[in-house]
A and B are shown apart, each in its own frame.
Chain A
Amino acid sequence: GQQLNQSPQSMFIQEGEDVSMNCTSSSIFNTWLWYKQDPGEGPVLLIALYKAGELTSNGRLTAQFGITRKDSFLNISASIPSDVGIYFCAGLYGGATNKLIFGTGTLLAVQP
């Protein structure tokens, strides 16, 4: 089945640093989504990317949909302690159901 490989698995950074994480797939997706999950809660949508090559920002977050439609990256600038959590990329697999395939996640820890 489709698999999304996310890297790095975890990051431990100082407050104020910039962060970059990426996601690659062997399959083509129509839409890429980035979610953040806090402990014990559901994934919360951060950014949605709909077109190959699209670069989208949401505050301190920037994400890009790769030209090949098989990869995406997420950057967080000037990290703050509340950025702590697990970040998941997800590919929206088209067809009748539009199910999401999730990446393996990147754990982000921010040291104040």
Chain B
Amino acid sequence: EPEVTQTPSHQVTQMGQEVILRCVPISNHLYFYWYRQILGQKVEFLVSFYNNEISEKSEIFDDQFSVERPDGSNFTLKIRSTKLEDSAMYFCASRTAHSGNTIYFGEGSWLTVV
């Protein structure tokens, strides 16, 4: 069964460093998402991406964050100048273009900022 894959599974970085989290969405999907889950809390929407541009972003997704689809398969989340509070599990997700279709999640990238 096709799945969303994410790398790295775990990254430890020093405060102030830049981090890039990578995702390969399911191949025929057109909508892409990043979500975040701080340890012990619920999953929170960060950003959605369609047709090579951001379609919606949450208040969490400030200027520190950016997304990119550099080629036909990858979808990346960049966090500039990481802060301690950026430590969380980051989930990539994707779905097809049909309204109401379900969203499939990757296994997550666990980011620890020290």
Contact = CB atoms under 8 A, between A and B. Distances in A.
Contacts of A100: 33, 35, 43, 45, 93, 103
Chain B facing A: main interface SS: strand
Contacts of B89: 40
Question: Which of B89, B95, B105 counts the most A-chain CB atoms under 10 A from its CB?
Answer: B105
Nearest to A35: B105
Interface stretch (B48-56, B69-77, B79-87): B48-56
B31 to A, nearest CB: 7
Question: Which of B43, B48, B50, B105 counts the most A-chain CB atoms under 10 A from its CB?
Answer: B43
Contact of B50 (A31, A90, A96): A96
A33 B95 CA distance: 14
Nearest to B10: A40
Interface residues of B, number: 27
B100 A92 contact: yes
A48 B99 contact: no
Interface in A85-111: 88, 90, 92, 94, 96-105
16 contacts: A30-B100, A31-B102, A40-B110, A41-B108, A42-B106, A42-B108, A43-B91, A48-B102, A50-B100, A92-B103, A97-B55, A98-B99, A99-B45, A100-B33, A100-B103, A105-B42
Interface of A: 30-31, 33, 35, 40-45, 48, 50, 88, 90, 92, 94, 96-105
Interface of B: 4, 31, 33, 35, 42-45, 48, 50, 55-56, 89, 91, 93, 95, 99-108, 110
Given A97-B50, A100-B103, A104-B42, 9 more contacts: A33-B103, A35-B105, A42-B4, A48-B102, A88-B42, A92-B103, A94-B99, A101-B45, A102-B42
